[in-house]
Structure 1
Amino acid sequence: MSSPEKKKEKVEELPSNPTPSLPDELLTSCIARLSRLYYPTFSLVSKSFGSLLASPELYKARSLSSRTESCLYLCLESSSDSRWYTLCRKPDKNKDNVSKKSTSYVLSKLPSLRSAPPAAVFTGLVSVGSDIYNIRSSSNVSVLDCQVNTWRKAPSVPVELMTFSACVVDEKIHVAGIHAESLKNVSMVLDARTGTWDHVVPIPTSLTRRGVLNMRSVCIDGKPHVAIDRGVVCYNSLEGKWERAKSNMGTFWFSDSYCEVDNVLYTVRDGELRWYDGEVNAWISVEGLVGLPKFLPGVSVRLCDYGGKMVVVWDKDMLSSGEKMIWCAEIALERREISEMWGKVEWIDHVLTVPIGYYIVKALAVTV
């Protein structure tokens, strides 16, 4: 029998690269064909694997082989800390139990990021392509490159804002808010491709009562829609003016639980997932959703467009242990009849446990 010392020597002699005989180009081509959901686990194999998974060449190969996919990111914060996570798969150790809806999804914490920006706000986080923009009222803008999970600076907002919201239309980030000094409405657009800001006509005071307060933004029909204190307004870029939108749409701003999927607006109201039907100007409950719980008051829920499907993220406090469980579900959506939307829950998982002091800021999907 080998001694413990000899066993230790054998372990130390293992190469850092588990596939030293494969050329880097071939290895990159192979990994590019795998789902991004497995990358966080692969990064633990060795340092060389970790470097390969963060290389620009890998994502070029993914793009050339048409392997790009939606990837979920989640921002959590406490009074003293900010954390970012990404959804991944872990090996299923119980393959025989196929009846469970759980499919071994987990949230993997991103390593400590250099130059991480200060606290994020729900209305200032948007995704464009493979990037997540963190826009803050202090005018600073940071960008998380989700291919390599590093932050970089972007051009600052031209003016300091007291309150604002942002949404994306054709790789352009529309920001509407209130100037911190003049208290006047301002509207701007950041072109993510060129990195330049442009001013657009602000929301006229005739459409607002006290300015743009408690604002939430979303893109519907290719137009930025902003919920304000007197309903919803939308920006018509062809005519260069703001217009009133459907009146009942505005109830989505009562919480941070809303998103747009395939040009349909969804929100959580009275504990249920609902969608806005523009034909009848009303919010209607989504049918189906077998397995999705009713969300009790006090539960934080975030919705996200996940490549044409919806991801729902919510929390559950465990007061006895001082921890918080983060749950996640993926839902396929299908419109039936004129005013009927059905949701099929494809999987539900408890994906993370954190100290109870953390809260969910926002869930976003990028394309990588």
Structure 2
Amino acid sequence: MLSPPHEKMKLDPSPPPSLSILSVPNEVALEYLSLVSRSDHAALCAVSRSYRSLVGSPHLYEIRSLMGRTETYVYVCIRAPPPGPSPRWYILRRRETSSDLIPIPSLPSQAQESSSVVVVDWGIYVIGGLTKGKATSDVFLLDCRTHKWRQVPSMRLARANAAAGVVDGKIYVLGGCKFDSGELFDPKTQTWDSLKPFPEELELHGRYIHDSFVRDQKVYAVCGKIDGTDTTFYYSPREDNWGRGNSRSSLGNARDWCRVGDLLYSISRDGTIYWCEPEELDWREPEGMVTKEVKGLDSLKKSLSCSRLIFFDHQNVHLWEQFRKVYNGTFRIPEVMDLLPGARLTTFGPNMLLFWSVLVGDRLQISCAEISLERQGQGDEVRGNIESTSVVLTVDPFDYGYKVLYSASVLV
């Protein structure tokens, strides 16, 4: 006999058995977690120690990589006054309407200035730098899977303001010491080796390395000379050879560079963002490097031009003023606040992230803008579109000790 329809629809009032990801084997739990965005991992870690163990497992990164679930995250390093560690590290949390900086474990023994920062796979290497005004050979690795630090073998020489880049999985460090030399680090063997001697015709006396990047498997260094000119040189690991790059006049005087897609971008002392073809890095005379302004970013220019002196310390100011006295009357030497505007460019997938800070009353605001870039016409114009802008950190009251040191994108 069939039951009445209303009895068929009657539901069991007892609650379903509780399910927990911790009740399944770790292998299965890690597969579940690989489907969860890393931005939600912090909340999971707060639930229990077991969740923290799973989230911090290197195997989770391997599974996410195999499943194509890795995501790009941006890390920011900021020098800060005491109390507390300095520099301090953050991860950028991006939301639909705003972004902010979330603190992660920092390293008290990290150099406070002038380190070189590169990304290899899931890790950020912090190389050399200045500690109490002296160069160091220390090298530290931030594991972005677990946000844990460890020290790796030191360089053979102490270096500060060196160029650094990654070619074929190895780290190349150029200059940054009085010997004008270079060396390479193999993460697999954990060993350092010296590069061939630096040629005399490329000697770096009177130059200040302020940026570097990789093109065509070559590590390029960008130097600011005492006369205000930017010049480049490179090392080619595959050819084991040094080479002379191009130069750029002090007009615009780039301070920070990044590569997005097939083009290079830089920011000048007046807040203008320029672009150029990568081929412009190669040496040519007499025209030098040809750069063009990225159109459509006028609304940022005024704020960027005001972001200056807070980005370097008194030691750098003193050294530059000594240069100005020695070479006074020989060159038109720019003021140090003109030479070093305070902004950082970072590649973020097909777009660019721009970090800068500016005084608003008695507060210091560190902002972040995401900019999409489009090449137009016959390829002779690039337009930027500001996708979002957020104040990611506010210092109130203002303190000169704060400074954005580095930013890096990592796929984890």
Where 1:217 maps in the other structure, the secondary structure is strand
Is 1:221 aligned to residue 216 of structure 2?
Answer: yes
- Please give the alpha-carbon distance, in whole angstroms, between the structure 1 residues aligned to 2:57 and 2:197: 41
Deviation at residue 296 of structure 1 after TM alignment: 2.1
Would the alpha carbon gap of residues 42 and 225 (structure 1) be closer, same or farther in structure 2, given more than 3 Å must change? same
| Counterpart for residue 258 of structure 2 | 259
Deviation at residue 163 of structure 1 after TM alignment: 5.0
| Counterpart for residue 293 of structure 2 | 285
Match of residue 87, structure 1, among 73, 86, 92: 92
| Counterpart for residue 366 of structure 1 | 410
CA contact (8 A) 2:116 2:161 kept: no
| Counterpart for residue 348 of structure 2 | 306
Instruction: Report the identity percentage.
Output: 32
| Counterpart for residue 237 of structure 1 | 237
CA contact (8 A) 1:274 1:285 kept: yes
Would the alpha carbon gap of residues 282 and 119 (structure 1) be closer, same or farther in structure 2, given more than 3 Å must change? same
Is 1:153 aligned to residue 132 of structure 2?
Answer: no
Q: Is the radius of gyration larger for structure 1 or structure 2? A: 2
Spell out, residue by residue over 1:222-250, the C-alpha distance to the aligned partner (whole angstroms, 9 max, x if none).
Answer: 21111233721122334422222122299
Would the alpha carbon gap of residues 304 and 226 (structure 1) be closer, same or farther in structure 2, given more than 3 Å must change? same
Question: Which is worse superposed, 290-299 or 134-143?
Answer: 290-299
Where 2:30 maps in the other structure, the secondary structure is helix
Scaled by the length of structure 1, the TM-score of the pair is 0.80
| Partner amino acid, structure 1, of 2:145 | Q
- Please give the alpha-carbon distance, in whole angstroms, between the structure 2 residues aligned to 1:207 and 1:349: 42
CA contact (8 A) 2:307 2:358 kept: no
| Partner amino acid, structure 2, of 1:67 | R
- Please give the alpha-carbon distance, in whole angstroms, between the structure 2 residues aligned to 1:212 and 1:293: 28
- Please give the alpha-carbon distance, in whole angstroms, between the structure 1 residues aligned to 2:112 and 2:217: 26
Where 1:119 maps in the other structure, the secondary structure is coil
Is 1:203 aligned to residue 202 of structure 2?
Answer: no
| Partner amino acid, structure 1, of 2:188 | R
| Counterpart for residue 297 of structure 1 | 306
Q: How many residue pairs end up in the alignment?
A: 333
Alignment of structure 1 residues 56-71 onto 2, 5 Å: 56-71=58-73
Match of residue 107, structure 1, among 101, 107, 113: 101
| Partner amino acid, structure 2, of 1:334 | E
- Please give the alpha-carbon distance, in whole angstroms, between the structure 2 residues aligned to 1:232 and 1:306: 24
Is 1:345 aligned to residue 386 of structure 2?
Answer: yes
| Partner amino acid, structure 2, of 1:330 | E
Deviation at residue 313 of structure 1 after TM alignment: 1.1
Alignment of structure 1 residues 109-124 onto 2, 5 Å: 109-111=103-105, 113=106, 116-124=108-116
CA contact (8 A) 2:346 2:352 kept: yes
- Please give the alpha-carbon distance, in whole angstroms, between the structure 1 residues aligned to 2:115 and 2:405: 9
CA contact (8 A) 1:123 1:217 kept: no
Structure 1 runs not aligned, ≥5 long: 1-16, 91-101
- Please give the alpha-carbon distance, in whole angstroms, between the structure 1 residues aligned to 2:181 and 2:252: 22
Is 1:275 aligned to residue 319 of structure 2?
Answer: no
Q: CA RMSD in A?
A: 2.9
| Partner amino acid, structure 1, of 2:78 | L
| Partner amino acid, structure 1, of 2:74 | L
